[in-house]
């Protein structure tokens, strides 16, 4: 069995072994030299030497341009005396290198003199264009090293998009030069609700942190080298508590507030219903948003900007004379369509900058949205508006709560559910062509450390990667688990915590208890049990 994750579209094992040693030579066509160099860097890291690069296509390992191969795909033929990789882009060739990394086990072996690959033939390409992980740093700032570590593992599993949630009620984590208070005020929280949604205990430890624009540029460049695009999320018009604490004039009331310490599931609960920007103050509110987006678009070359748009309470708008005046002037039906007006203005502004707007599926409640807008489907219940949006020819990204909300306990969103995901199970027709891709979401209300990030993500990320890349007909959960056990050794090697396999598919009373604990008392209970098992070495991988 080839221990590859994600599983290739087609694979065939053959007889023999190819040996990589200090005499192995490398060749690449001009537009594939980056992948060649990535492979050579990997060989140097594993074996301590670089392979000689030659100008002859008779080299031991060759990267050849083939325009017929999918833009992110590759073919690879390994015989006893050669490896021939064909790709139409540097991206596809890069993914071939990730497969070589996995097949040689070079990340695991200590100081090898040589590496080997079993003879094989692979044809491979991704099922979805967007294969994304979302990291929320608005709740807890983790820093560049944590993000880079995540990017490294994403590339290893052929994921190509990081959705970076950088602002919310509880924190603003990116420097905006025109509005310095966003980080000076909005980047600092006096305390944090730390236990569970139903447990209002507050730890009064100050939490702060943000990325300078220079740090953002460095992380974006790091991601680009891994063929990963970073989509920033700047939440609006709701989830703007940190921004309103920084600049109160953005709200309908102008009331001064502090950066919230309590997490709000439904924005009208916990006293945070007023934390929404005022579209009625058109000149000031939209000037602020455009200024912020100007700086954001300069920092992130990806073709998308996410604006959130979810869980937007309308209570403030209903009693705001400026909002009511705008509704009347524009002939809008109600406050829901006022948000649609807001979203359309942002979408058009972003289009002028060569970007498309993404928003969570609640934005579809408004009528006549701009055709460029991409909806991201996250909500737990069936949403006919999403289904109709797809059928009408619009684009959607799927991050269905039941399968891809990785902040949930494994008891609630287990590994089998993630691996078994198919759009049709949620009344979505994958044949319509409007599904841009899939995203696994990690919100961090209860994720204060890198150790906890890793626990929530692994081994879910491996399962998600296979769902996003591999065609459904080659996927098999039992086969995946056999391969996964080998990959857990990689996580052990790099000190990455993960959920023991004994806990990834809990059922019965244990499942019910774990879900209740998470929601009402202690969101860390399952994690603490898992870490106890791992530290006692009583788990089996």
Instruction: Say how far apart CA 72 and CA 93 lie, in whole Å.
Output: 8
pLDDT at 266: 41
- Which residue is it, tokens 């949205």? 369
- The arithmetic mean of pLDDT across residues 58-79, rounded, is 98
Q: Give the DSSP H/E element, type plus range, for residue 348.
A: helix 335-352
- The arithmetic mean of pLDDT across residues 335-345, rounded, is 97
Q: Residue 488 is encoded by which pair of tokens? A: 């857990």
pLDDT at 272: 54
Instruction: Say how far apart CA 286 and CA 345 lie, in whole Å.
Output: 9
**pLDDT at 416 exceeding the cut of 70:** yes
Beta bridge partners of 230: 162
- C-alpha torsion angle, residues 487, 471, 436, 381 (rounded to 10): -80
pLDDT at 526: 95
- Whole-number Cα distances in Å, 482 to 124, 411, 478, 541: 20, 21, 7, 10
- Average model confidence (pLDDT) for the chain? 95
Question: What confidence category does residue 105 fall into, taking pLDDT thresholds of 50, 70 and 90?
Answer: very high
Question: What confidence category does residue 265 fall into, taking pLDDT thresholds of 50, 70 and 90?
Answer: very low
Catalytic residues: 168, 239, 311
**pLDDT at 274 exceeding the cut of 80:** no
- The arithmetic mean of pLDDT across residues 155-180, rounded, is 98
Question: What confidence category does residue 540 fall into, taking pLDDT thresholds of 50, 70 and 90?
Answer: very low
- The arithmetic mean of pLDDT across residues 273-279, rounded, is 85
**pLDDT at 271 exceeding the cut of 90:** no
pLDDT at 1: 83
Q: Is 43 exposed, middle or buried (0-12, 13-18, 19+ CB in 10 A)?
A: buried
Q: Is 538 exposed, middle or buried (0-12, 13-18, 19+ CB in 10 A)?
A: exposed
pLDDT higher at 197 or 535: 197
**pLDDT at 216 exceeding the cut of 50:** yes
Ranking 279-283, 343-347, 499-503, 534-538 by mean pLDDT, the lowest is 534-538
DSSP 521: I
* All domains in the chain, ordered by first residue: 10-124 (3.30.379.10), 130-535 (3.20.20.80)
Instruction: Say how far apart CA 518 and CA 529 lie, in whole Å.
Output: 13
DSSP 471: -
Q: Residue 57 is encoded by which pair of tokens? A: 């296509």
- Whole-number Cα distances in Å, 435 to 39, 127, 430, 478: 32, 11, 7, 27
427 conformational bin, left if phi > 0, alpha if psi -120 to 50, beta if neither? left
Instruction: Say how far apart CA 150 and CA 350 lie, in whole Å.
Output: 28
pLDDT at 510: 83
Span 222-233, pLDDT tens digits: 999 999 999 999
- The arithmetic mean of pLDDT across residues 270-288, rounded, is 85
Per DSSP, helices labelled H in 80-120 are: 90-104
Ranking 226-230, 347-351, 366-370 by mean pLDDT, the lowest is 366-370
DSSP 174: B
- The arithmetic mean of pLDDT across residues 42-69, rounded, is 97
Q: Residue 46 is encoded by which pair of tokens? A: 């594993």
Span 302-318, pLDDT tens digits: 999 999 999 998 999 99
pLDDT at 474: 97
Span 371-401, pLDDT tens digits: 999 999 999 999 999 999 999 999 999 999 9
Taking alpha carbons only, the member of 346, 306, 380 closest to residue 136 is: 306
Span 425-474, pLDDT tens digits: 999 988 878 999 999 999 999 999 999 999 999 999 999 999 999 999 99
> pLDDT above 90 covers what percent of the chain?
92
> pLDDT above 70 covers what percent of the chain?
97
Question: What confidence category does residue 521 fall into, taking pLDDT thresholds of 50, 70 and 90?
Answer: very high
pLDDT at 34: 98
Q: Give the DSSP H/E element, type plus range, for residue 144.
A: helix 144-156
Span 481-510, pLDDT tens digits: 999 999 999 999 999 999 999 999 988 888
Q: Are 357 and 307 in contact (CB under 8 A)?
A: yes
Using CA of residue 444, residue 450, residue 455, residue 458, what is the dihedral sign? positive
Q: Residue 358 is encoded by which pair of tokens? A: 């993404």
pLDDT at 172: 98
Beta bridge partners of 74: 124
Residue 384 CB partners (closer than 8 Å, separation 6+)? none
- The arithmetic mean of pLDDT across residues 101-130, rounded, is 96
Instruction: Say how far apart CA 60 and CA 120 lie, in whole Å.
Output: 15
Q: At what angle do helices 144-156 and 450-457 cross, to 10 degrees?
A: 20
pLDDT at 275: 87
């Amino acid at each position: 069995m080839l221990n590859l994750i994600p599983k290739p579209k087609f694979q065939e094992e053959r007889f023999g072994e190819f040996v990589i040693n200090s005499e192995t030579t490398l060749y690449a066509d001009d537009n594939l030299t980056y992948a060649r160099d990535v492979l050579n860097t990997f060989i140097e890291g594993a074996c301590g030497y670089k392979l000689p690069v030659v100008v002859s296509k008779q080299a031991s390992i060759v990267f050849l341009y083939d325009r017929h191969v999918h833009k992110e795909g590759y073919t690879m033929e390994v015989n006893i005396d050669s490896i021939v990789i064909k790709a139409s882009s540097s991206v596809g060739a890069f993914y071939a290198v990730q497969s070589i990394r996995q097949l040689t086990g070079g990340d695991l072996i200590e100081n090898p003199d040589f590496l080997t690959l079993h003879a094989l033939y692979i044809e491979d390409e991704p099922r979805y264009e967007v294969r994304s992980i979302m990291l929320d740093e608005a709740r807890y700032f983790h820093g560049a090293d944590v993000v880079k570590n995540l990017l490294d593992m994403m590339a290893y599993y052929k994921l190509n998009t990081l959705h970076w949630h950088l602002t919310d009620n509880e924190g603003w984590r990116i420097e905006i030069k025109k509005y310095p208070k966003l980080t000076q005020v909005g980047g600092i929280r006096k305390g944090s609700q730390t236990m569970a949604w139903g447990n209002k205990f507050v730890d009064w430890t100050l939490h702060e942190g943000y990325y300078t624009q220079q740090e953002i540029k460095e992380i974006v460049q790091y991601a680009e080298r891994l063929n990963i695009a970073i989509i920033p999320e700047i939440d609006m018009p709701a989830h703007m508590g940190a921004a309103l604490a920084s600049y109160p004039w953005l709200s309908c009331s102008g009331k001064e507030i502090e950066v919230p310490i309590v997490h709000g599931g439904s924005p009208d609960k916990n006293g945070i219903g007023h934390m929404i920007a005022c579209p009625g103050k058109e000149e000031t509110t939209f000037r602020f948003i455009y200024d912020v987006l100007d700086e954001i678009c300069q920092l992130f070359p990806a073709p998308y900007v996410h604006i959130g748009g979810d869980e937007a309470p309308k209570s403030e708008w209903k009693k705001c004379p400026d909002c009511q005046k705008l509704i009347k002037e524009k002939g809008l039906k109600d406050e829901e369509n006022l948000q649609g007006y807001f979203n359309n203005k942002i979408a058009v502004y972003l289009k002028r900058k060569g970007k498309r707007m993404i928003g969570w599926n609640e934005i579809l409640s408004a009528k006549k949205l701009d055709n460029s807008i991409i909806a991201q489907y996250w909500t737990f219940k069936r949403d006919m508006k999403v289904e109709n949006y797809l059928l009408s020819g619009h684009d959607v990204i799927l991050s269905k709560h039941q399968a891809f909300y990785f902040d949930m306990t494994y008891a609630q969103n287990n590994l089998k559910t993630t691996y078994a995901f198919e759009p049709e199970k949620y009344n979505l027709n994958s044949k319509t062509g409007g599904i841009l891709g899939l995203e696994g979401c990690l919100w961090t209300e209860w994720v204060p450390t890198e150790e906890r990030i890793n626990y929530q993500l692994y081994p879910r990320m491996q399962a998600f990667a296979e769902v996003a890349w591999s065609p459904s007909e080659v996927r098999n959960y039992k086969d995946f688990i056999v391969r996964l056990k080998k990959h857990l050794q990689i996580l052990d090697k790099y000190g990455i915590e993960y959920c023991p396999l004994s806990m990834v598919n809990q059922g019965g009373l244990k499942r019910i208890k774990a879900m209740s604990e998470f929601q009402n008392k202690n969101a860390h209970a399952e994690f603490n049990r898992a870490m106890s098992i791992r530290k006692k070495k009583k788990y089996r991988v």
